[in-house]
Structure 1
Amino acid sequence: MNFEKIEQAYGLLLENVQTIQNLLVTNGYDALIEQNAAYLSAVHDHQVIEQNNQTLKKLKLTKEEWRRSFQFLFIKLNQTEPLQYNHQFTPDSIGFILTFLLDHLLEKENITVLEIGSGTGNLAQTILNHSQKKLDYLGIEVDDLLIDLSASIADVMKAEISFAQGDAVRPQILKESDLILSDLPIGYYPDDSIASRYKVASSEEKTYAHHLLMEQSLKYLQQGGYAIFLAPNDLLTSPQSDLLKSWLQAEASIVAMIALPSNLFGAQSMAKSIFVLQKKTVQQQMPFVYPLQDLQDAQAMQDFTAKFKKWKQG
């Protein structure tokens, strides 16, 4: 990976996005979608935009160099036009852990993956760029802007991935996957009539959206398949946790719980852990439980991966 090329690409992308913003009097994210379209068409009325895109093409960026360039651009845009918390991209350090789990939980080489709430597509691209498996990857996202961003970025990167727009809590026509993945949004689901169809639905207040998404996700999971969720630390102790645990007991087994350092998250109340579920099977072994203290400590990460591999081997 060439960091000088990433820095140059970021500068070219930023100049084009800011130029398009001024031309169209729009926000930076819509301008990025327009920039991606201009890059793909290779023609633009504005000379600077066209020249910058020609230079971008000459850089011949790898998929990972593209991903890093777009990531830096999102960080810059977020400084002046913040995305809501549930739309922020998953940190790379967590993305690498999720990739490791995917690669070691599933033994076959060809894996179908469904990501619920795929956002800007950064997590998907992280996994696709680093996984040792061959992935058939579909991301589903409800937000118009995010689905346009993720799809346009995937086109620029020539990434082998599909995105679909939809509210994942509502029934979707989707094939069963080997793996479900989600950095779950935290909050309440607004439509009580839809929520009431679920076993985890609360009869006393609005239901947690992340509980509904967990229940719905397992409907798209193959028997014996895995679901990896980034979910609130208090998932099993929150006010609605009894409903969730009752559903879990009937439908799934918790195979792993991995606590993440709280400094990864903007506020303690937003801190998450990794929960790995398996669609109901006869429980063969005790769950893997591990507190990760520092994702930047190479020795600590080696200890984690070694213990997980040993646990997986039984």
Structure 2
Amino acid sequence: MEQQIEIIFKWLDETTEIITKQEDVPYLDGLIAASELLFYRELPDDLEPTYEQQLQTKLSQINLSEYTGEMRRKGLQLAILKGMKGQTQQHHYITPDTVGMFIGYLVQRFVGTEKPYTLFDPACGTANLLFAVLNQQEVLKESIKLYGSEVDPTLIRLAYINANLQEKEVEFFHQDSLKPILLEPVDVVVSDLPVGYYPDDETAQGYELKAEQDHSYSHHLFIEQSIKYTKEGGYLFFVVPSMLFESDQKDQLQAYLKKHAHIVGLLQLPESMFKNETMRKSIFVLQKKGEATKDPKKVMLADLPSFKEAEAMQQVLQQLNQWFENER
């Protein structure tokens, strides 16, 4: 599989370089054009002959049908990471694959494999997390309905080509996800939450988790917005700062969650993934309250070891399996 991923990445990278050189555009814009070329296999009219020949040659070197959706996702992800290198904006950050796959495992355990469901990421970025989770759902993969919302124009275009390359139907919303979304409540929410202050105080006024003074925390508002767009009894899986309940607005957040959701799990991601302890993140699992729901007997808590430590990871998975047996 690694070899095939490398072939896709190399093709995208080389074709992107040809396009960026000829068109004088940034790498990510060139990558969008290269991905569209790979998917549609159609060249624009009136290209300069040498340029046209270069692109035709590249097209003759690859057949997309020979690669699985997961290979395509990972190949594109590597090219996106290359394009984002040196960009420091927090929102231009891709959720690591190991985290996406682990959330995919949790979604499968909590939601099961019996019936199709709807899956939404309100801060989908390039949709990498959405597809990493989807591709873990072997049994239901074809029948899960996907939704994603993203405000950044470059990221939503990358999400769109990500969907095309994997030949998956996704309904995307290009908007500020903290404003009303034209979406019916979903069964499952997954999201790597944007962390920081939300600048639009007027919109924040409509939230229970708005700050009393100054700007509100965007990650708090995203939790509230996600719960609003989740069906009763539905599950939410967030990547959050590990210090979530140590902020100056923690009491407000705890009171809100007590009212609207059950805290099901908090799994600390491996320390080795982060530069320092203050940047550490966790996977936070919630269930929206409903008539038939109740608090778990015991919250699922774990300090995850490095994903490279197979034996330690196996022990944690055994503990989690035990938790599911006791809870179900």
TM-score by length of 2: 0.90
Question: Aligned pair in 2 of structure 1 residues 288, 96: CA closer, same or farther (>3 Å)?
Answer: same
Contact kept, 8 Å, 2:194 with 2:218, in 1: the verdict is yes
CA apart distance, 1:132: 3.1
* Residue number in structure 2 paired with 1:72: 78
* Residue number in structure 2 paired with 1:246: 255
* Residue number in structure 2 paired with 1:297: 309
What amino acid is the match of 2:162?
A: I
Distance 2:171 2:275 in 1: 30
Distance 2:275 2:27 in 1: 23
Percentage identity across paired residues of the two chains: 31
Pick aligned residue for 2:132 from 126, 129, 133: 126
Contact kept, 8 Å, 1:42 with 1:50, in 2: the verdict is no
* Residue number in structure 2 paired with 1:285: 297
Structure 1, unmatched stretches of 5+, are none
TM-score by length of 1: 0.94
Distance 2:301 2:239 in 1: 15
Distance 2:64 2:38 in 1: 12
CA apart distance, 1:83: 5.5
Q: Which moved more, 1:277-286 or 1:50-59?
A: 50-59
3-state SS of paired residue (1:222): strand
* Residue number in structure 2 paired with 1:257: 266
Contact kept, 8 Å, 2:129 with 2:191, in 1: the verdict is no
Contact kept, 8 Å, 2:197 with 2:217, in 1: the verdict is yes
* Residue number in structure 2 paired with 1:310: 322
Contact kept, 8 Å, 1:228 with 1:275, in 2: the verdict is yes
Question: Equivalences for 1:264-275 in 2 at 5 Å?
Answer: 264-275=273-284
Distance 2:4 2:192 in 1: 30
* Residue number in structure 2 paired with 1:87: 92
* CA offsets 1:266-306 (integer angstroms, 9 cap, x no match): 44333210110111232241111111122111122222222
What amino acid is the match of 2:73?
A: R
Contact kept, 8 Å, 1:10 with 1:69, in 2: the verdict is yes
Question: Aligned pair in 2 of structure 1 residues 143, 133: CA closer, same or farther (>3 Å)?
Answer: farther
Distance 2:152 2:127 in 1: 12
Distance 1:92 1:189 in 2: 27
Question: Aligned pair in 2 of structure 1 residues 83, 149: CA closer, same or farther (>3 Å)?
Answer: farther
Distance 1:133 1:194 in 2: 40
Distance 1:26 1:267 in 2: 35
3-state SS of paired residue (1:39): helix
* Residue number in structure 2 paired with 1:41: 40
Question: Aligned pair in 2 of structure 1 residues 69, 225: CA closer, same or farther (>3 Å)?
Answer: same
* Residue number in structure 1 paired with 2:216: 207
Distance 1:16 1:284 in 2: 51
Question: Equivalences for 1:158-177 in 2 at 5 Å?
Answer: 158-177=167-186
What amino acid is the match of 1:222?
A: K
Question: Equivalences for 1:189-200 in 2 at 5 Å?
Answer: 189-200=198-209
Question: Aligned pair in 2 of structure 1 residues 224, 41: CA closer, same or farther (>3 Å)?
Answer: closer
* Residue number in structure 2 paired with 1:226: 235
* Residue number in structure 2 paired with 1:5: 4
CA apart distance, 1:85: 2.3
CA apart distance, 1:96: 1.2
- What is the aligned length? 312
Question: Aligned pair in 2 of structure 1 residues 193, 19: CA closer, same or farther (>3 Å)?
Answer: same
Contact kept, 8 Å, 2:264 with 2:296, in 1: the verdict is no
Question: Aligned pair in 2 of structure 1 residues 58, 231: CA closer, same or farther (>3 Å)?
Answer: closer
* CA offsets 1:54-104 (integer angstroms, 9 cap, x no match): 31226722111111211221232233x525222211111111110110000
Contact kept, 8 Å, 1:257 with 1:273, in 2: the verdict is yes
* CA offsets 1:100-140 (integer angstroms, 9 cap, x no match): 10000013331211112111111122122222342222111
Contact kept, 8 Å, 1:258 with 1:273, in 2: the verdict is yes
Contact kept, 8 Å, 1:201 with 1:243, in 2: the verdict is no
* Residue number in structure 2 paired with 1:186: 195
Q: Which moved more, 1:289-298 or 1:212-221?
A: 289-298
Question: Aligned pair in 2 of structure 1 residues 124, 26: CA closer, same or farther (>3 Å)?
Answer: same
Distance 1:282 1:157 in 2: 38
What amino acid is the match of 2:94?
A: F
Structure 2, unmatched stretches of 5+, are none
3-state SS of paired residue (1:110): coil
Distance 1:239 1:50 in 2: 58
Question: Aligned pair in 2 of structure 1 residues 207, 49: CA closer, same or farther (>3 Å)?
Answer: same
* Residue number in structure 1 paired with 2:123: 117
What amino acid is the match of 2:215?
A: K
Distance 1:76 1:138 in 2: 26
